[in-house]
């Protein structure tokens, strides 16, 4: 899933995708809502959340949960861009989970 520009409102729904990418300089707003964002990382890229470019990026984490799931040995990387997130759940069964940048989490499992 990519957010290149504009606003994405999850409308409190659960989201399941292989990864989330928003690494563009365009104005972007992500309203995560109260749902669980399940990132499967099954595309083999390794980067499951990529918000390295935070210029013009607003993330409203609300009460959402980001959940990483994947059974492969590929390292799963969370490039949070130093943003504030609500809940983070590392539920991978194999490989490592790498968290980049100085992100803030309400709850971390």
Residue ranges of the domains in the chain?
Answer: 6-108
Residues sharing a CB contact under 8 Å with residue 53, sequence separation 6 or more, in sequence order:
22, 23, 24, 25, 81
How confident is the model at residue 20, as a pLDDT? 96
Tens-place pLDDT, residues 50-102 = 999 999 999 999 999 999 988 788 888 999 999 999 999 999 888 888 999 99
Q: What is the C-alpha R_g of the chain? A: 13
- Average pLDDT over the chain reads 93
- 0.85 exceeded by the pTM? yes
Question: Can you say how many angstroms the Cα of residue 36 is from the centroid of all Cα atoms in its chain?
Answer: 11
Instruction: Label residue 43 by pLDDT band (50, 70, 90).
Output: low
| Tokens representing residue 30 in the block | 């992500």
Q: Classify 92 in phi/psi space as left (phi over 0), alpha (psi -120 to 50) or beta.
A: beta
Q: For the chain, what percent of residues have pLDDT higher than 90?
A: 77
Whether 66 contacts 49, CB under 8 Å = yes
Instruction: Label residue 28 by pLDDT band (50, 70, 90).
Output: very high
């Amino acid at each position: 899933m990519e957010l290149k520009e504009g606003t994405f409102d999850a409308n409190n729904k659960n989201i399941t995708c292989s990864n989330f990418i928003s690494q563009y300089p365009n104005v972007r707003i992500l309203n995560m809502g109260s749902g669980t964002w399940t990132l499967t990382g099954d595309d083999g890229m390794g980067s499951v959340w990529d918000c390295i470019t935070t210029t013009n990026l607003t993330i409203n984490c609300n009460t959402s949960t980001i959940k990483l799931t994947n059974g492969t040995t590929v390292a799963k990387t969370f490039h949070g861009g130093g943003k504030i997130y609500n809940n983070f759940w590392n539920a991978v069964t194999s490989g490592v989970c790498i968290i980049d940048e100085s992100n803030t989490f309400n709850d971390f499992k």
